[in-house]
Amino acid sequence: MAWLNDITHVTFDCYGTLIDWERGILAVTQPLLARHRVNVAPEEILKSYVRHEAELEAQSWSPYREVLRGVMVGMAKDFRFTLQADELAALATSLPDWPPFPDTVAALKQLATRFQLVILSNTDDALFAETQKRLRVQFTTIITAEQVKSYKPGPAHFHEALRRLNVPVTRILHVAQSLYHDHAPAKQLGFCTAWVKRPSLLSGTGLAPETHIEADLVVPDLANLVTRLI
């Protein structure tokens, strides 16, 4: 893969790629459902989450905190319980506590010695600022849905990355778990992509709608990505 030698910038999705969002989502939703005496499998909780999130993000832009409130409303309908007012913000409030995958921080620190690192995230500035404390590296630039008023798989994040970085697209590698949110729009604009096939409770593409697209590089985790790039 000689093209890897041309890479100078590595752009990352955050939640699902760097942050274990399945673990974070379940840590807040399972106790909440238990309080309402709702007993459903973790897989069903995640399926409900991804369905409602995708539907809300496909509508006109609204802050990610509002998207997460809408996801909670959707879950309450799916599992037939009455959501209390103070529970509406449960997902957004918990997001800063969602943990990085075990290999994330070490991999980012290693990659930062050679590449400029960039975040392309479907979240708000303030929410990501809390997550960034857990990632413990400096990013060249951070592009959020709040800034571009659009959610991936819309192309706005990727257009903005090209504008800010001002380098040929052949020098950028986009790294993400979600084929739907990230690889599809990135490939349409000529980005090379690396698919991080994180383990998931949901078979196939994990916590994202199913999409069929071929990444340029497939790795099981970020530690493996480091060995391919450095």
Active-site residues, by number, are 13
Q: Considering only CA atoms, which of 226, 18, 49 is closest in space to residue 121? A: 18
Q: Considering only CA atoms, which of 124, 135, 73 is closest in space to residue 98? A: 135
Rounded Cα gap, residues 45 and 47, in angstroms:
6
Q: Give me the half-sphere count of Cα atoms (radius 13 Å) on the Cβ side of residue 34.
A: 8
Vertex 135 angle, CA 91 and 220, to 5°: 90
65, 89 Cβ separation under 8 angstroms: yes
Q: Which residues contact 84 (CB under 8 A, 6 or more apart)?
A: none
Bond into 153 cis (ω within 30) = yes
